[in-house]
Amino acid sequence: MSEIDASRAALPSLVSIRDLKFGYGGRKIFDGVDVEIKRGQVTTIMGPSGTGKTTLLRLIGGQIKPQSGEVVVDGRHVPKLSRQGLYDLRRRIGLLFQTGALFTGLSVYDNVAFPLREHTRLPEKLIRNIVLMKLEAVGLRGARDLMPAELSGGMARRVALARTIVLDPMMIMYDEPFTGQDPITVGVIMKLIRQLNDTLGLTSIVISHDVQEASSISDYLYVLSGGKVVGEGAPDAMKTNESPWVRQFMQGAPDGPVPFHYPADPIDDDLFGMVTA
């Protein structure tokens, strides 16, 4: 066991996923997935598009239930929680959606203040101070009066991040935070994820398929493919991983265990009339 693996093993788990099985209709998404998210770490779940990375976040957040297996968050079995129990847990978990999911009818300020107004009885003056501090943390205090339609994609994600941390959660889940962003915004988001995790003592789960960005801010990586975990380890170890699945993904090879072609009948059959469309 390497030094990194040993120190990781000593950390307590915040999220434990064991033998997770899940699918839509007849299509299997997860077929026996095991994932351990350690407290205080930034863990990235990577994998090709369509492997169910976002679905994994929804399972951790209790938005959907697994067909079998365990999803334990902070010692609580998420699929077995009552609605109230689930809401209690969610107050301590933040999810940053890919789109930001800001309320389009509310200003930046009101979006960030929303969870405080819903879950606390704090006076408006104190809410103002908290909101401005959170906006300052993401560099958008000056944008507090703007409406979501007036924000760029990167700014919208940063506002959503301020909203996510406004209740001081124990864990934040990021769904594809770098997708579709310019290099400067990617850099800002990377810095924020790492900085917030370390300064606020959070645990972070990042869903991404951006290998370089995710590797540079993560303590641990998981690679999902074909419904299973095909590789895991510290970012440096993953770069030299022997698994052909991991190698294809980390090097961005177009063909390999994840085929270039979607399954189909032989092309000769298709072109020369053996199969009718």
On the CB side of 66, how many CA atoms lie within 13 Å of its CA?
28
The two tokens of residue 116 are 């405080």
Distance of CA 43 to the CA centre of its chain: 9
Closest separation in Å from C-beta 78 to another protein: 13
Closest separation in Å from C-beta 208 to another protein: 18
Residue with smaller CB distance to another protein, 172 or 246: 172
Closest separation in Å from C-beta 97 to another protein: 5
Residue with smaller CB distance to another protein, 88 or 168: 88
Length of the chain: 277
Please give the residue ranges that form the binding site for another protein (CB under 8 A). 61, 63, 87-88, 90-91, 93-95, 97-99, 101-104, 114-115, 118-119, 163
Residue with smaller CB distance to another protein, 54 or 243: 54
**Under 8 Å between Cβ of 42 and 206:** yes
Quote the CA–CA distance of 74 and 171 in Å, as a whole number. Answer: 10
Residue with smaller CB distance to another protein, 111 or 241: 111
Closest separation in Å from C-beta 118 to another protein: 5
**Under 8 Å between Cβ of 78 and 72:** yes
Residue with smaller CB distance to another protein, 163 or 209: 163
Closest separation in Å from C-beta 140 to another protein: 18
